[in-house]
Amino acid sequence: MATGSFFSPEVETLERSDLDTLIDERIRYTIRYAAEHSPFYRHWFNENHINPTEIQGHEDLLNLPVISGKTIREHQPPVTPEFEFLSTDWNNVFSIQETSGTSGTPKGFFLTWDDWKRYAEKYARSFVSQGFSEKDRIVVCASYGMNVGANTMTIAAQKIGMGIIPIGKCTFEARILKNYKPTAIVGSVFKLLRLARRLSAGGMKPSDTAIDKLVAGGESFADESRAYLSELWGVPVYNTYGSTEGTMCGECTERSGLHVPEDLVHLDVYDPHLQSFVKDGECGRGVLTTLLPVGGKSGMLLINYDTEDTTVVLSRDRCKCGRTHMRIINPLREAETVWAFGNPFNRTDIEAAVFQADSMAYITGEYEAGLHDGDRPEEAVLRVNLECYDPDHCDRTLVEDRFVSRFLKYKSLIAEHYHEGSFRIALNFTGPRGLDFYTMKGRPKRLVDRRVH
Q: Is the model's pTM score more than 0.75?
A: yes
265 and 411 share one domain = no
Give, in order, the Cα–Cα distances in Å from 31 to each of 38, 69, 270, 291, 358.
10, 19, 20, 9, 53
Which residue, 292, 314, 330, sits at the end of a domain? Answer: 330
318 and 342 share one domain = no
398 and 294 share one domain = no
325 and 341 share one domain = no
Q: At 373, give phi and psi (nearest 5°).
A: -70, 145
88 and 122 share one domain = yes
pLDDT digits (tens, 9 = 90+) for 64-91: 999 999 999 999 999 999 999 999 999 9
Hey, which bits of 8-141 come out as E strands?
A: 95-98, 108-111, 137-140
310 and 377 share one domain = no
Expressed in percent and rounded to 5, the helix, strand and coil fractions of the chain are 35, 25, 40
Which residue, 284, 299, 330, sits at the end of a domain? Answer: 330
317 and 346 share one domain = no
Which residues, in sequence order, are CB contacts of 216 under 8 Å at separation 6+? 187, 188, 189, 192, 226, 229, 237, 238, 239, 240
263 and 368 share one domain = no
Structural domain including 212 reads 1-330
The pLDDT, as a whole number, for residue 149 is 87
Question: In this structure, are strands 163-165 and 184-187 parallel, antiparallel, or unpaired?
Answer: unpaired
Pick from 160, 151, 153, 129: nearest CA to 258: 129
209 and 122 share one domain = yes
pLDDT digits (tens, 9 = 90+) for 302-359: 999 999 999 999 999 999 999 999 999 999 999 999 999 999 999 999 999 999 999 9
pLDDT digits (tens, 9 = 90+) for 238-290: 999 988 888 899 999 999 999 999 999 999 999 988 999 999 999 999 999 99
CATH of the domain at 441: 3.30.300.30
